Structure formats: C-alpha cells, structure tokens
Structure 1
Amino acid sequence: MFRPRVAELLWNTTRLALGTVVVCGVLGVGAAWLVERSNVPFRRAWHVLLVAPLAVPAFVNSYAWISLLPGVDTYAGALLVVSLSYFPFVYLPVAAAFRGLDPALEDTARGLGLSSWSVFLRVQLPQLRVALLGGSLLVALHLLAEFGALQMLRYPTFTTAIYDQYRATFNGPGATMLAGVLVLLCLVLLLAEIRLRGRRGYARTGRGASRPPRPVVLGGLTVPALAGLAAVVVLALAVPLGSLAYWMVAGASTAFDAGALATTTGTTLGLAAVAAAVTVAMALPTGWLAVRARGRVSTLLERATYLGSSVPGIVVALALVTLSIRATPWLYQTVPVLLAAYAILFLPRAIVTVRAAVEQSPRLYDDVAASLGSSAPDRLRRVTLPLLAPGIGAGAALVFLAVVTELTATLLLAPTGTTTLATAFWSASSALEWGAAAPYAVVMVLLSAPATVLLSRDARRGLTT
C-alpha cells in the first residue's frame, strides 16, 4: 500500500474529486438561482435543458470530447468532462431547495437594506446547505466510482488502476489492495458529509401562506446570464449529441451490423428487465418492514442496502469475482452473479420508491380486508400490491435504466459471449472505431431519456415562464 504509485493515484483521485465538487457546486447553485430566483427568460426550457445531460452517460460524454479533441486527455480535460456530466446532481436538489424556501425571509432581508448578493449569502445559502452537501456527496461518490470516462480520457485514478491490475494479474492482491483504499475514501466522504451537514435545521414551525417568491430583476445582466446558461447547455448537451450525430454520418467505421445492434439491444433490455424484477422483489419486503415493522432490525436492514450502493461498482464486481471463484466456482461469469451485482448497486433506487408507496398506503385497508376473512396471500394480491403498484413501477424503471448504462461491473462479470450496449460501445471506442461505437451510444441515450423527462416534469410544474 505504501508505494509511490498509490500516492500518485491518491493525488490524482483527490484533486479531481475536489475540483469536480467545486465546479459542480458553482454551476449547480448558479444555474438553480437563475432558474428559480431570477427573471431570466424561458425558465421552463432552461430547467429541462439543465437536467437533460443526465441522459448522456459520463463515458459517452468523454467519448464525444476525446473523439473530437484528442488533446483533452489532461487533468483540465477530465475536470471539464466529468463536471459537465455530474453538475445536474447538484442542480436538482438545490433547485428543489430554492422552491421550498420561505420568500418572506428574503423580503425581510431586502427590507432591511441587504443587496441581492447579501441576501443570497446570508439568507439563502445557509438554507441550501443540506441540498448542496447532498448533491456534492453524490458527485464525489460518482467520481470515485467512475471508470469508463476516466479510462477513455487516460486519466489514472484508483478505479482505472484497479481494472488494469485485475486485467494484468486476474484477481491478484494488488487489485484488492487498491479497492480497499478506494472504499476507505468513500467512507471518509460519507463521514465528512455528515460532519459538515451538522444538526442545525432551517424548517419553518408553521406552514404559513403559500405564495411564489418575487424574482430578482436582472436588468443589464440578463444577456450575460443567458450566455452563461447557453454555454453550459452547449458544452454539456450539444457537444455530445453533435459528436454522436457526426460520427453516425461521417465516421470511417460507421458501417455496422444492424443485426448485432438489435441483438445487443435485446440482450441489454432482457438483463435490465430481469435485474429490475429481482431488485424490486428484494426491495418490497425491505421497504414494507421499514414502515410497517419499525425497529432496530428493520432499520439496520434498510440502511445496509445503502452501503452497497455507496461502494464503487468495480469494487463490488471484484468482491463477487473473488467470492465466486473461491466459494462457488461454478457460478463464475454467469448471469446470477451479474444480477447480484446489479441488485447490490441499484437496490436503494427501488427501496426509496417502494418505501414511499408503503408510507402512502393506509394500513386500514389491509385490516378491513382481514376482518372480512381475506387470507394474507389474498390481501397481498388484492389489496397491498395494487396500492404499491406505482412505487414498484417507478423503482423498476429506475433500476432498468441504470442497468442499461452500467459498464464497470458488466465488463468484469458478464458471461463469455454476452454483450450489452455499454460493453459493445466500450469495445468499439477502445479500438478507436468512433463510428461503430456511435449507434450503441445513441440507443443508450434514447433509453435514458425517459428518466430525464420524469425528473424534470414534476419540478417544471412549479416554474413560471
């Protein structure tokens, strides 16, 4: 562990994580303030466009940049690409927090003579602490787990080094050692976020009168604000989509096998559907117990599921490789092991929606059915599952879309001969066949687009043009 190479990887990973958190914080908070608290024109459209980069996986974004600008494989290039991919993780919670702030506090501050900048620093920003820290934590954890984008940009971090070590020594101790350091970094991040968040609350004691905030008039700053928002959208969205369109048309390797694309798409959709079903089936009892049987055991069970999702995918895959080889060698490189990795990584996405559905499902309905003589299995089929159907469907959709674009665990665990959209894209782009990789990226973006629409739809209702 105490080697110069580990110190180099630690420096690369730490400075990229810190730089990405700072850039995403500035972009996310600035864009959220303009959309939620200013009179910038076309606020609804800007909101959708600022969420849309989530539909483009980070490794597809890096493919777009590196294929157009080969010299972007530097620290500055890596910082640019990952920041453009991850800043919506800060923008979304901060924009939601802005919508929940009490405008009376801001009006009072302005009435006391504070400028708009002072109101932001002294009134709004302290109330955004939880949202900003939560979004920053998501950005940092995604950065620590990122493999495809950084490998394509040839920027060495712990994740890329673990993969290279695994390919060189096949489950050697070097990869396990690097994975241990990466897990420690994740734990440090989680503890730091809890420490910085503190226990101070900013909630109102009463509901008060619901009224929209008065937007800040930008005046002469309207044009610079529009230019800034346009620059972010062009770099984060127009560049990757334009690059995909270019390589689809002009790539020297554009001639691809449509049958192979259809087969790969079918395999990906099949794996995603099975993974969604398995993960939701695991989330259902966990979410139900967390609400209907509150206690230490159910709480521990629920919280344990979040631990796996906070660990980088390559660490989960490496652990399953080690376990399957040593304990169950007949399961190595089989679909069940791959599905187990998907369940570990994406189980919280299903639990959150299932638990919310259970919270909104009155226990009274089940009690009435029991009093009428309905058996437990019959109540589950006729009462409980129909009430939980929206939450189950939302959780399944989130897991489905996450599996479609998952790369790292699939590369290490997919059975021989099994190719997904992500791995097919990775194989073509690694061989510098930009045109051949483009169709697989386009399909992934199209499949990810519905999630972006769902994320922006509810928030868009609260905006005025």
Structure 2
Amino acid sequence: MQTEAASAPLPAPVSRYRRKSPPIWLQIPVLALLLVAALPLFFVVARAAQTGWHEAWALLWRPFVFGLLANTMKLMVLVTIGCAFIGLALAWLVERSDLRWRKHWNVLLCLPFAIPSFVSGFTWVSISPMFEGLGGTVLVMILSKYPLIYLPLVAMLRSLDPALEESARMLGYNRRQVFWKVTLPLLRPVLMATSLLVAVHMLVEFGAPSIMRYQTFTTAIYQQFELEFSGSNAAMLSALLLAMCMIMLWGEFRLRGRGYARTGQGVARSAAPVRLGAWSVPAQLALVVLVAIGCGTPLTMLGFWIVEGSSAAFPLDEILQTLWSSLSYSFGGALLSCLLALPVCLVVVRYHGRMANLADRLPYLLHALPGLVIALSLVFFALGYMPSLYQTAILLLVAYALLFMPMAQGPIRVALEKASPQLEEAARTLGHTPISTFLKVTLPIIFPAIGAGFVLVFLDCMKELTATLILGPTGLETLATKVWSHTGNLEYAGAAPYAALIVLVSGLPVYLLTTRAYAQRRG
C-alpha cells in the first residue's frame, strides 16, 4: 500500500527539550544508513570509472537508449495525466457532491491498493495478448496508481474551509467558476506533488511493464544485468534512471508543504454538497465501470485461472512453502526497517544540529533511489568487498529496509512528536540512562506506531519483486517471483494461486484501514 503520505517526514516542532547532539548509540546507525544510502551513487561512479568515461558516454549515446527514454517518458506522461484526471474527478464526486453511497464508494475506489500492478497486468495479459504493449501498460498502471492522487485530494477537500467557496458563490460565481477559480487553485499544490509522485513510480516500475512486454529503463536494466551479464550497460542505464528520479523527487520536495493555510481554527463543518441532478445516474455508472475494470476484472480472472489450475494440478506443498518464504522474509524486512527507523526518528525529533538535519533528509534520499538501482549497488558492493554476503538473506533484508524504511518512519515520527519529552526528562533526573529511559518510558508510548509502521512495510515486502529477483538466495521463491516466473512462461493458471494469496494478504488490511479512516472522519 503505497501510502506515500505515510512515508513523508513531518517538520519537527521546535521544543526547549530538544538536545544539541545525539548520543553515540544513535549516531552510529544513522551514519551507517547514510553510507548505505550513498551506495547507488558510488556504484554508478565506480562502474563508469571502470568502464572508462569515453566508453560510458558511447554506451549512453545510442539509439537504443533514446528508444528506452521515449518509451519511459510516454508511460510516465500518459499515466500521470490519467491518474491526475481520475483522482481529481473521484475526489470531487466523493467529497463535494451528493453522490449516493459515498462511504462504500470510498472503500471500493481504494481497493486497487490491494492488487499489485504486476498481478493486475498478468490478469489482463491472460485475457488477450492485445493488452501487451504501451496501451495495456498505461491502462493497468492508471488503475493501480490513481489512489495515490485520489486519497490526498480527498483529505485536502475535507480540510478546506467551506466558507471560501461559499464566499465566492455570494459574489456571483456559479458552481463551475467556483471550482476553477477557488477550489482547484487550493488543490493545485497537492495535485502537482502527488502527480510527481506517480511520475517517479512510473520511472522505476518494473513488474507490470515486464509482464506486459513493454520495455522501459527498468526492464532493460534487468535484462542487461540478469540475462546478458552486461554490468557496464546496466550501470550506465542505472545512472540515467537515477538522475531522472532525483530530478523528479527534487520537484516533489519543492512542492511538498506548499498549500492552503489560514489564520484561526475555522469552522468544523462540511461543505454543502453539490446536487448532481441528471448527472447522478451517469456518475454512478462511471464509478461502477471504473471499479469493475480496476478490481472486478483482475479478481474475476484470478478466480477463473484458479479453477482452471486446480482442475489440472494444484501444488499445495509448493504454494505453502512459497507463502512461508514470503511471510518470513517480509517479517524480517519489516522488523529490520522498524529497528533502523527508530534511531533516525529519535535523532530528528529529540535533537538538533547537523546529524538531525542529515537524518531529516534521509527519507527523501531513500525515496529517490529506484529499487533496481539499490539492488545492483548492493550486488556491486558484495561482489567487490564482501563476497560472502552475495545472494544471502542478509543482503535481501538490507535492500528491503532501504526500500521501505521511510514507510515505517512516518507513524513512528508522528508518535514521537506527540509524546511529551518531559517524561523522558523526568526519568533522566531520576538516574536512568538514555537507553534505560528509551526502553522504559519512550518505547511503551510509541509501540502502537511501531506496529503500524511494521504492517505497512510488511505489506510492501510481500509485493516486492525487483530486489528479490536480483538479491534473493539461490532457490528462494516468493509469491511475487512465482507470479512473475509463471507469467513469463505463459502459465497463467500456475500464477493465479500465488497472485490470489498476495491480494488476500494485502486486501484485508487495506479494507480495514480505509473503513476505519472514513468512520473516524465522519464520526
């Protein structure tokens, strides 16, 4: 559940209880994380130096690379525009209109979070090869990623003071003019920031384009490294991909935090809903079609292939073993991510200075690193400096932590900022050491937030594909890699049970979190 809002760091409040420099037991893990996060940059520079700068330039200045760039940009632009349009329209319908059954629609519209894009891609390709290529990939990615824009826009619309729109109406503006001249400008910062986030996702997406036979930078990098054993080509393509991601994340960073602000508390009330009138039935039909295409089609095809597969062969032992591998590695990745997120959050919230500033920017750096580039940099480091780590569980868990630690930081940091530092100061005055204070005072307070971060990371580890394919120990099969390998061999019935388990494990938490959040807002 790419709850990217959960991974976004929040500005630390200024407090007189914040100390100047963190203790050594907090500095060591933060510095280690910063060094590991810098590995992709080191990997790109080192491989370019080994290859030679002239040869590196020759590898980049080729029609093949320009074709990859064109394909990647087409996918990024089309999906971003499609997600922005759908997300904005859905958010307005749910929050500003008199649409019937809004609570139920809000849940249904969030269900694509539970269906990984590569699972959705496999179901569409299994219908017909006509869905392969750019058109099918754009369709699948829009249906998978529009919640990244829809959910923040819904939250923004709920928080807007309705008096702004009402004042515009009193000045003679009609509903359409109010939307274009008042509502949309207030939503524009969130819309642009989330659209850039979707664009970054498109730059690093691997599973769906690979399954749907659409070549982008990520699929070409994997092919160069895994199939053609060309580390130089993979490194140069990784350099371009990393540069593009950094540019996009710089734009998202600049937009983050810009938005609507007001003086005073405002009025805690909802805006008067706009009557759809004759458009009510078409709006309901449009939502039915969207949910049917986005969720109904993948789930129906999964059911069809499970029945077809079980009529011929249903390797229960193999499925259970794969499920156990996914659960155990996801548990390890989530645990390591939370353990690493704790010292980072403590340094950011409880201390100030250079170390706190570096820790504050660490999530942005990790968020800008493509999973494929992280995996290749860890391979480069292991083969060059610690060969015993190559294709071990440790290296794969480190990759999971680098990829998903920002998701654990969100809830942990919020909990730390709400926890009173006076309790910690009181414990220190009673003679407790910093570690003892953390274990006996701070940890019990933030433990529920650690659990929330653990669940978020666990779900993403269950769906992770690229790092697992490259770094996984020999013989390791997870639910995601099983779907990918069976689909590559056109064994759709064989892939269906593993894909269904991914949806089942991911779907229940998504449903519970969505219904709970809506109930809290409306309650």
Taking structure 2 as the reference length, what is the TM-score of the superposition?
Answer: 0.86
CA contact (8 A) 2:94 2:102 kept: yes
Per-residue Cα deviation, 1:275-328 (whole angstroms, up to 9, x for no partner): 111111110010011000022321212312331232221111111111111111
Is 1:181 aligned with 2:240? Answer: yes
The within-5 A match list for 1:270-285 is: 270-285=328-343
Q: How far did residue 108 of structure 1 move?
A: 1.1
- 1:203: which partner in 2? 261
Q: How far did residue 138 of structure 1 move?
A: 2.1
CA contact (8 A) 1:254 1:435 kept: no
CA contact (8 A) 1:36 1:99 kept: yes
- 1:20: which partner in 2? 79
The within-5 A match list for 1:124-139 is: 124-139=183-198
More displaced, 123-132 or 296-305?
296-305
Q: How far did residue 117 of structure 1 move?
A: 1.6
- 2:360: which partner in 1? 302
1:403 is aligned with what amino acid? C
CA contact (8 A) 2:323 2:478 kept: yes
Which residue of 344, 366, 385 corresponds with 2:402?
344
Per-residue Cα deviation, 1:28-63 (whole angstroms, up to 9, x for no partner): 000000000000100000000011111000000000
In structure 2, what is the Cα distance between the partners aligned to 1:352 and 1:200?
19
- 2:226: which partner in 1? 167
Is 1:237 aligned with 2:283? Answer: no
**Runs (5+) with no aligned partner, structure 1:** none
In structure 1, what is the Cα distance between the partners aligned to 2:109 and 2:131?
23
Structure of higher RCO (CA pairs closer than 8 Å, 6+ residues apart): 2
1:77 is aligned with what amino acid? G
Q: Given the superposition, is the C-alpha separation of residues 200 and 319 from structure 1 closer, same or farther in structure 2, using an over 3 Å criterion?
A: closer
Q: How far did residue 450 of structure 1 move?
A: 3.5
Q: Given the superposition, is the C-alpha separation of residues 376 and 94 from structure 1 closer, same or farther in structure 2, using an over 3 Å criterion?
A: same
Q: How far did residue 143 of structure 1 move?
A: 1.2
In structure 1, what is the Cα distance between the partners aligned to 2:429 and 2:112?
51
Q: Given the superposition, is the C-alpha separation of residues 199 and 438 from structure 1 closer, same or farther in structure 2, using an over 3 Å criterion?
A: closer
The within-5 A match list for 1:303-322 is: 303-322=361-380
Is 1:246 aligned with 2:304? Answer: yes
Q: How far did residue 341 of structure 1 move?
A: 0.6
Q: Given the superposition, is the C-alpha separation of residues 333 and 200 from structure 1 closer, same or farther in structure 2, using an over 3 Å criterion?
A: closer
In structure 2, what is the Cα distance between the partners aligned to 1:137 and 1:341?
24
**Counterpart secondary structure, 1:461:** helix
Is 1:54 aligned with 2:113? Answer: yes
Q: How far did residue 338 of structure 1 move?
A: 0.5
Q: How far did residue 148 of structure 1 move?
A: 1.1
CA contact (8 A) 2:193 2:256 kept: no
Q: CA RMSD in A?
A: 1.8
The within-5 A match list for 1:369-384 is: 369-384=427-442
In structure 1, what is the Cα distance between the partners aligned to 2:388 and 2:311?
38
- 2:282: which partner in 1? 224
More displaced, 55-64 or 106-115?
106-115
CA contact (8 A) 2:334 2:458 kept: yes
The within-5 A match list for 1:7-86 is: 7-86=66-145
CA contact (8 A) 2:121 2:211 kept: yes
- 2:208: which partner in 1? 149
Is 1:460 aligned with 2:514? Answer: no
Per-residue Cα deviation, 1:53-102 (whole angstroms, up to 9, x for no partner): 11000000000100012211132211111111100100010110000111
Per-residue Cα deviation, 1:403-446 (whole angstroms, up to 9, x for no partner): 01100110000000111111112111111111111110111111
Is 1:88 aligned with 2:136? Answer: no
1:292 is aligned with what amino acid? R
- 1:108: which partner in 2? 167
Q: How far did residue 378 of structure 1 move?
A: 3.1
CA contact (8 A) 2:189 2:259 kept: no
- 2:351: which partner in 1? 293
CA contact (8 A) 1:44 1:463 kept: no
Percent same amino acid at aligned positions? Answer: 43
In structure 2, what is the Cα distance between the partners aligned to 1:389 and 1:402?
20
Q: How far did residue 464 of structure 1 move?
A: 6.0
CA contact (8 A) 1:309 1:347 kept: no
**Runs (5+) with no aligned partner, structure 2:** 1-59
2:387 is aligned with what amino acid? P
**Counterpart secondary structure, 2:345:** helix
In structure 2, what is the Cα distance between the partners aligned to 1:254 and 1:204?
64
Which residue of 437, 455, 461 corresponds with 1:403?
461
Per-residue Cα deviation, 1:442-462 (whole angstroms, up to 9, x for no partner): 111111113412541344126
Which residue of 488, 495, 498 corresponds with 1:437?
495
In structure 2, what is the Cα distance between the partners aligned to 1:224 and 1:403?
39
Per-residue Cα deviation, 1:369-391 (whole angstroms, up to 9, x for no partner): 23333343332222111001011
Q: How far did residue 25 of structure 1 move?
A: 0.4
- 2:181: which partner in 1? 122
In structure 2, what is the Cα distance between the partners aligned to 1:425 and 1:199?
39
**Counterpart secondary structure, 2:137:** helix
Q: How far did residue 199 of structure 1 move?
A: 8.2
More displaced, 200-209 or 5-14?
200-209
2:292 is aligned with what amino acid? V
**Counterpart secondary structure, 2:395:** helix
2:236 is aligned with what amino acid? M
**Counterpart secondary structure, 2:344:** helix
- 2:393: which partner in 1? 335
